[in-house]
Structure 1
Amino acid sequence: MSKLIANSKKSKHPIALSFDVEDWFTVRNMRDFVSDSEWDKQEMRVNIGMDFILNALAGKNIKATFYILGWLADRAPELIKKIADQGHEIGCHSYQHTPIDLLDPKSFEADLKKAVAALESVSGRKIKGFRAPSFSVMHKTSWALPIIRDCGLEYDSSIFVTSHPDYGVKDFPTAITTVSGLTEVPLKKSKFFGAQVPVCGGGYFRMLPYAMTKSALKQDLQSGPVVMYFHPWEFDPEQPRVALPAIKRFRHYVGLNSNRDKFLSLLNDFEFTTVESLVQDAKASNNLSSYTFKN
């Protein structure tokens, strides 16, 4: 289990810190503007954000979980080796970053197997955890969970307990849960003066004032751990700009200029662990909820 970091403002539980390792052109918001057949023609900038992340974590002796695209493992193996050599958990984020709702079961299984093989070959590690692109394990894609299990993975962290146009399972438990033979580590909203606020990363973290994020996290961590997620491109404010529709443009570009400073503040203010460590602790204490998707 990873060592928790001492902090003068300790919370009762840690934050499981995770990163979805993808480049600026692979995200869902770009899907209609940069097709995957054109990815190899784009400027790869993933190392810009990753250098910042890895240096920041090393400075605080923090270990985190990195869910990585198999596509990147094939093109930047030295990056995956660097992450592994620094003692971080390596997880799978699919091969081609295609959301599950855009795949059928056969295509999803092929993509997943290809990704796991690429990541295990480069990292030299058994891949245990999976996170779907765009948190795309939902009611209509719950068929993916037995496939993830049968491909040899031990846990999933793809369900966001929320309502969103592209993802979410609103009635899913907020605790670590057994579902379809897998251990599910969900992401959730945090409490903020009685309201439920999504402060757990991504565009939410970039958009909201850090003081609000900090307050909400402190409240929520009194009752249980929180999973947070970030992407390398969120720490690259000079990335190429694409003429996206207004909503997608806002989601992708909001807060890029201030995100590094906010992230460093986060590292100073809380304790962190890996997602794998949360799973180990939950299993050791037999403290697992259960859930069944209804067909």
Structure 2
Amino acid sequence: MTTITNALTIDVEDYFQVSAFAPYIARGEWDTRECRVERNVMRILELLDAQQAKATFFTLGWIAERYPQLVREIVARGHELASHGYGHERASDLDEAAFLDDVKRAKALLEDLGGVEVKGYRAPSFSIGAGNLWAFDCLARAGYRYSSSIYPIAHDHYGMPDSPRFAYRVNERLLEIPVTTLRVLRRNFPSSGGGYFRLLPYALSRWMLQQVNAVDQEPAIFYFHPWEIDAGQPRIEGIDLKTRFRHYVNIPRMDSRLQALLADFRWGRMDDIFLGRTTVPAALPQGAAPVII
């Protein structure tokens, strides 16, 4: 175990809401699907309790509205309640007005149900990038104090490889805390969760996080989804082979890998780790215009 406290983050959405399934499952069908998020989040809470670890739950307003007791349980167990937007719409698919409405709606709903201030936001599918940096302005106007919406890698669905790798201030009121990467041979490699964690050998994932802690002397931000521990989730028919592989690879192994991860590192909440820092660099991705507030 390192002495650095890393941030464990969970994007609270159900299996049928992932962006990769959008071409196959209409948003209007969501209420007809079997919801499994409640049991999966409760299992995650049990794993965290067993290791006395804390985490940040980036929660969809759509989920919170239907499972208010789950929101209260997250807060009651000492974890951070944060926003994943209301309806899992990618920030890059919305204009400024629609995005601002979405993030304000989600924040108000979560705060009403959880009884706590919601300070953090994560865009669905890390969908803030060079083309919509105005989203940071919207988040600041909505009252958020930090975002964790950029993944500094090259990817076919998201990513901004020129972004700073570690926390930086995008304007006077908002901090961006990118998802963790490992820098090797002038390239950023994904090292912090999701499908990569399921695909790669656990020893390699652990080594990459250890390198960030030991070499960069920075806390890592690890993320995953409740559906990733659910081997019994309904299979979506008719999806392409790439999507099938990415979504289902090694899901039966995820629970045991999470237990190992929780034991091998020290884990805490995003707000506790980052909002108390006295100095944070002010920077924007290369070539990006500053956000004016």
- Tell me the TM-score normalized by structure 2: 0.93
| 118, 125, 148: which one aligns with 1:157 | 148
RMSD: 1.7
Deviations 1:170-212 (A, max 9, x none): 1111121011341011113225799743120000001100011
Deviations 1:197-241 (A, max 9, x none): 312000000110001111111111112111000100001011011
Map of 1:50 onto structure 2:
41
Does the aligned pair in 2 maintain the 1:162–1:188 contact within 8 Å?
no
Moved more, 271-280 or 145-154: 271-280
Q: How many residues align?
A: 284
Matches of 1:127 and 1:163 in 2, distance apart?
A: 30
C-alpha displacement at 1:168, in angstroms? 1.2
Question: What secondary structure does 2:29 align onto?
Answer: helix
Question: What secondary structure does 2:17 align onto?
Answer: coil
Aligned letter for 2:256? Answer: D
Map of 2:126 onto structure 1:
135
Q: In the alignment, is residue 255 of structure 1 matched against residue 247 of structure 2? A: no
Question: What secondary structure does 1:165 align onto?
Answer: coil
Moved more, 57-66 or 196-205: 196-205
| Residue correspondence of structure 1 range 148-187 to structure 2 within 5 A | 148-181=139-172, 182-187=174-179
Matches of 1:40 and 1:289 in 2, distance apart?
A: 43
Does the aligned pair in 2 maintain the 1:23–1:233 contact within 8 Å?
yes
Map of 1:245 onto structure 2:
240
Does the aligned pair in 1 maintain the 2:54–2:268 contact within 8 Å?
yes
Q: In the alignment, is residue 234 of structure 1 matched against residue 238 of structure 2? A: no
Map of 1:265 onto structure 2:
260
Q: In the alignment, is residue 203 of structure 1 matched against residue 195 of structure 2? A: yes
Q: Judging changes above 3 Å, is the alpha-carbon distance between structure 1 residues 85 and 156 closer, same or farther for their aligned structure 2 residues?
A: same
C-alpha displacement at 1:280, in angstroms? 2.3
Does the aligned pair in 1 maintain the 2:153–2:189 contact within 8 Å?
no
Matches of 1:192 and 1:25 in 2, distance apart?
A: 35
Residue segments in structure 1 that go unaligned for 5+ positions in a row: 1-9
Deviations 1:106-139 (A, max 9, x none): 1111111111111011001111000000000100
Deviations 1:23-74 (A, max 9, x none): 1111101111111111111101002211210000011111100000001111
Matches of 1:188 and 1:230 in 2, distance apart?
A: 13
Matches of 1:210 and 1:13 in 2, distance apart?
A: 20
Moved more, 144-153 or 101-110: 101-110
| 212, 219, 222: which one aligns with 1:220 | 212
Q: In the alignment, is residue 40 of structure 1 matched against residue 25 of structure 2? A: no
Matches of 2:210 and 2:64 in 1, distance apart?
A: 36
Does the aligned pair in 2 maintain the 1:175–1:289 contact within 8 Å?
no
Map of 1:79 onto structure 2:
70
Question: What secondary structure does 1:178 align onto?
Answer: strand
Question: What secondary structure does 1:160 align onto?
Answer: coil
Matches of 1:251 and 1:31 in 2, distance apart?
A: 14
Matches of 1:101 and 1:183 in 2, distance apart?
A: 19
Aligned letter for 1:198? Answer: P
Matches of 1:208 and 1:193 in 2, distance apart?
A: 19
Does the aligned pair in 1 maintain the 2:152–2:188 contact within 8 Å?
no
Identity %: 36
Aligned letter for 2:169? Answer: T
Matches of 2:169 and 2:226 in 1, distance apart?
A: 30
Matches of 1:217 and 1:27 in 2, distance apart?
A: 25
Matches of 1:61 and 1:217 in 2, distance apart?
A: 20
Does the aligned pair in 1 maintain the 2:96–2:134 contact within 8 Å?
yes
